[in-house]
Amino acid sequence: MSELEAAVGAGVLGADEAHRALLQATVEVARAIYGAKAASVFLLDEAAGELVFEAVAGEGEGELIGMRFPADTGIAGWVLTTRQPLIVDDLSSDTRWSRTAAESTGYVPKSMMAVPLLVDERVLGVLNVLDRPAESRVRLSEVDLLGLFANQAAIALDLLQRARRARAALAGEGRLAPLARVAARLEEGERDTAFELLQALDRLLAETS
């Protein structure tokens, strides 16, 4: 129910966009800091066993969102299952990976930094930074920095998922949908009687629980 409160409080419809913007800002900063061609976040769809492009900055921006691929293969899959960050240069020599990447995105990066997005015990997805400048030799401090970015991206992704779940519960045929409609209507004009009714309902539920 805390998600419901959060969703109603934040304005159900606006929250999704705000959290998506936060995620987008994170990948944009990651891309800028590393001077990379692209940065992206994959969301893990656990039920489908797939990774989904959730935010992209740079190469592929605007085209890849929503694209899916299997979560248990390739470099992102390895990062996801082992919870270990991995930095790979000269990716093009990994033919299996390149082919998969090219088929799904049309873009084959030369290098990739991939780090798991972890919130508490859960792994939510993977943050990727693709094609840093060729001359930039990776340092371990950059790996640590990537971990910090991943932490931020993971929080944004967590918020986005919460907002989506709340929205699903409140939308259309969801059991709590009437509540969302009531909340929306309460904002329209003078609704003193409706507020009194709401308070009475609250008291009734408190007494019977």
Partner 1 sequence: MSAAIEFHEHADEEDLPAWSLPAEAVDRIRVPVTLPEQVTRDWAWGGSTGAGVRVCILDSGVELDHPLVGRVDRSVAVIRDDDGELQVVDDAEGDVAGHGTACAGIVRELAPEVELTSVRVLGSGYTGGGEILLRGLAWAIEEEFQVVNMSLSTTRTKYVERLHELADRAYFKRVLLVASAHNMPVESFPWRFASVISVGSHEEADGLTFYYNPTPPVEFFGRGLDLDVAWLNGGTLRCTGNSFATPHIAGICALILGKHPYLTPFQLKSVLYQTASNAEAAA
Report, in Å, the least distance between residue 144 CB and partner 1: 6
Report, in Å, the least distance between residue 57 CB and partner 1: 21
Is there binding between residue 126 and partner 1 (CB under 8 A)?
Answer: no
Task: Give the number of other Cβ atoms within 10 Å of residue 191's Cβ.
Answer: 14
Is there binding between residue 158 and partner 1 (CB under 8 A)?
Answer: no
Find the binding residues for partner 1 in span 65-104 (CB under 8 A): 71-75, 77-78, 80-91, 93-97
Task: Give how many residues touch partner 1 by CB under 8 A.
Answer: 44
Is there binding between residue 2 and partner 1 (CB under 8 A)?
Answer: no
Is there binding between residue 64 and partner 1 (CB under 8 A)?
Answer: no
Q: Helices 177-186 and 192-208 meet at what angle, rounded to 10?
A: 140
Distance in angstroms (rounded) separating the CA atoms of residues 113 and 89? 9
Distance in angstroms (rounded) separating the CA atoms of residues 162 and 122? 14
Q: Determine the 3-state secondary structure of 10 from DSSP.
A: helix
* DSSP code of residue 30: H
Query: Residue 38: left if φ>0, alpha if ψ -120 to 50, beta else—which one?
Result: beta
* CB of 181 closer than 8 Å to CB of 194: no
Find the binding residues for partner 1 in span 169-208 (CB under 8 A): none
Residue closer to partner 1 by CB (options 29, 143) is 143
Binding residues vs partner 1 (CB under 8 A): 44, 46, 49, 71-75, 77-78, 80-91, 93-97, 115-116, 118, 120-123, 137-140, 143-144, 147-148, 150-151
